[in-house]
């Protein structure tokens, strides 16, 4: 056997693995940063115009992440052989492989979410989030504890380090020091991630999280009385949690600054203050709520005024082509064609599961369009205008699809 060649091949194998490891780490870093930007509600309101670019970039980097993985797989068997005596390295490897595969598969399903019913996106998003909540802190821990810097701090005297990985001896000062520093950095990282992680997890726990309190920023009286179907809610109460979104500061609505206008191409324009508005006849319906980013809330009991009734009572002029919705935040708008707007289940909603819709959730009055993605469901709704020319909604202007139908 040609030993030189053998040796060289072995060397190349190691080098190649290191290179794969580095490109994998770099891609993972880019994905973590862009992923957190997409998740962050702050970023949503500060840089809304780049949101869709970042999403597409995140997806493409995710596609590239498959490459190091695919290149690694044929080498895996040989690699694992070299790890025979290193149990921790093997656990580390399997853990990351599982995380990466979960992220890639769920990411793929989220990218093509429109091809599947919303329940597929809900699960994919859960898996994607979960693998992120475990993968990212662990990756940080891994990069710290494997860095040269960390090894430098750990070792006291260079000659002692030689015996290090093999003799696990509690009395060995290096071992003690290393364990201590590992536990310390692990705990710091875990503590840093724990609050947001538990907040995220609570949405999935059967209790449904903390009950919505009425420490609500809005102040409107009188409170509308829920009908018998609404309280207790005929849908049995919502399943899942909303992720509260806004592109502005959340408006604080009171009897003084709240009003509701229906104008444009109607026979009789309407203008209501709060006490007039709560006297309008309301209906109750149960429907689901789907965000285009993958999360859903099911079986929500809404009480409100069917949009169709509101429009027909005002008298729709023949030339009407579109219905435009305005938010009291002064920025967010969206549109439906008049034909879409006349679907029976679109509602100008006032109560959710028997309670006045709270401020974060778009209260006191929001639109709901159950068959379309929720970017159509304008929060803090205060004006509906019937128009002839099309209007492009807030998120559609920034890259969201004008076709918002949910595939059910």
CB of 302 to ligand MTE, least distance (A): 12
Partner whose binding site includes residue 329, from ligand MTE, Mo ion, none (CB under 5 to 8 Å by kind): ligand MTE
Closest approach of ligand MTE to the CB of residue 374, in Å? 4
In the complex, what is the shortest distance from the CB of residue 72 to ligand MTE, in angstroms, rounded to a whole number?
37
Chain contacts with Mo ion (rule: CB under 5 A): 291, 374-375
**Cβ proximity to Mo ion, 28 vs 375, nearer residue:** 375
With binding defined as CB under 6 A, does residue 125 bind ligand MTE? no
Min separation Cβ 374 and Mo ion, Å: 5
CA dist., res. 250 & res. 329, Å (int):
7
CA 336, CA 22: separation in Å to the nearest integer? 48
Q: Is 260 in the site for ligand MTE (CB under 6 A)?
A: no
Among 27, 139, 284, 291, binds ligand MTE (CB under 6 A): 291
Residue placing its CB nearer to ligand MTE in the complex, 109 or 352: 352
**124 touches which of Mo ion, ligand MTE, none (CB within 5 to 8 A by kind)?**
none
When the beta carbons of 138 and 375 are compared against ligand MTE, the nearer one is: 375
| Residue among 230 and 361 whose Cβ is closer to Mo ion | 361
Among 116, 123, 245, 298, binds ligand MTE (CB under 6 A): 245
Question: What is the nearest approach in angstroms of ligand MTE to the Cβ of residue 213?
Answer: 16
Site for ligand MTE contains 39 (CB under 6 A): no
Could you say which of Mo ion, ligand MTE, none residue 277 binds, taking C-beta under 5 to 8 angstroms by partner kind?
none
Question: Which of ligand MTE, Mo ion, none lies near 303, with the C-beta cut-off 5 to 8 A by kind?
Answer: none
Report in angstroms how near the CB of residue 244 gets to ligand MTE at its nearest. 4
Rounded to a whole number of angstroms, the minimum distance from the CB of residue 395 to Mo ion is: 7
Please select the residue that binds ligand MTE; options are 246, 287, 301, 359, rule is CB under 6 A: 246
Q: Taking CB under 6 A as the rule, does residue 371 contact ligand MTE?
A: no
HEC profile for the chain?
A: CCHHHHHHHHHHHHHHHHHHHHHHHHHHHHHHHHHHHHHCHHHHHHCHHHHHHHHHHHHHHHHHHHHHHHHHHHHHHHHHHHCCCCHHHHHHHHHHHHHHHHHHHHHHHHHCHHHCCHHHHHHHHHHHHHHHHHHHHHHHHHHHHCCHHHHHHHCCCHHHHHHCCCCCCCCCHHHHHHHHHHHHHHHHHHHHHHHHHHHHHHCCCCCCCCCCCCCCCCECCCCCCCCCCCCCCCCCCCECCCCCCCCCCCCCCECCCCCEEEEECECCCEEECHHHHCCCCCEEEEEEEECCCCCEEEEEEEEEEEHHHHHHHHCECCCCCEEEEEECCCCCEEEEEHHHHCCCCCEEEEEECCEECCCCCCCCCEEECCCECHHHCCCCEEEEEEECCCCCCHHHHCCCCCCCECCC
* Under rule CB under 6 A, residue 335 binds ligand MTE: no
- Give the interface with ligand MTE as residue ranges (CB under 6 A): 242-247, 291, 327, 329, 332, 361-362, 374-375, 377-380
């Amino acid at each position: 056997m040609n030993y030189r060649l053998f040796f060289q091949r072995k060397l190349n194998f190691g080098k190649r693995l290191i290179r794969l490891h580095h490109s994998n780490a770099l891609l993972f870093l880019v994905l973590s940063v862009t992923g957190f930007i997409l998740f962050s509600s702050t970023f949503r309101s500060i840089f809304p115009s780049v949101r869709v670019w970042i999403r597409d970039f995140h997806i493409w980097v995710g596609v590239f992440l498959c490459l190091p993985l695919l290149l690694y797989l044929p080498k895996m068997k040989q690699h694992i052989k070299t790890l025979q005596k290193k149990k921790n390295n093997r656990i580390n490897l399997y853990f990351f492989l599982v995380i990466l595969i979960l992220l890639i598969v769920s990411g793929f399903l989220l990218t093509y979410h429109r091809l599947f019913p919303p329940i597929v996106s809900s699960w994919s998003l859960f898996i994607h989030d979960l693998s992120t909540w475990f993968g990212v802190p662990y990756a940080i821990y891994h990069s710290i504890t494997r860095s040269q810097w960390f090894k430098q701090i750990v070792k006291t005297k260079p000659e002692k380090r030689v015996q290090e990985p093999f003799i696990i001896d509690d009395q060995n000062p290096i071992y003690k020091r290393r364990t201590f520093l590992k536990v310390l950095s692990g705990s710091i990282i875990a503590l840093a991630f724990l609050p947001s992680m538990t907040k995220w997890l609570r949405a999935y726990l059967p209790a449904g999280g903390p009950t919505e309190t009425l420490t609500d920023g809005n102040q409107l009286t009188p409170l509308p009385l829920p009908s018998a179907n609404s309280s207790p809610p005929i849908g049995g109460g919502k399943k899942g949690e909303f992720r509260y979104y806004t592109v502005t500061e959340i408006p604080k609505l009171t009897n003084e600054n709240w009003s509701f206008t229906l104008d444009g191409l109607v026979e009789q324009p309407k203008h209501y203050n709060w006490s007039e508005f709560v006297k309008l006849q309301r209906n109750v319906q149960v429907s689901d709520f789907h965000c285009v980013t993958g999360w859903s809330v099911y079986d929500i009991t809404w009480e409100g005024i069917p949009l169709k009734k509101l429009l027909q009572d005002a008298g729709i002029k023949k030339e009407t082509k579109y219905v435009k919705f305005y938010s009291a935040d002064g920025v967010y708008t969206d549109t439906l064609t008049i034909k879409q707007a006349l679907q029976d289940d679109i509602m100008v909603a006032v109560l959710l599961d028997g309670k006045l819709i709270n401020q974060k959730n778009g209260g006191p009055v929001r639109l709901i369009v159950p068959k379309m993605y929720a970017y159509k469901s304008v929060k803090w709704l205060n004006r509906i205008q019937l128009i002839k020319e099309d209007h492009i909604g807030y998120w559609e202007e920034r890259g969201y699809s004008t076709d918002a139908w949910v595939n059910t």
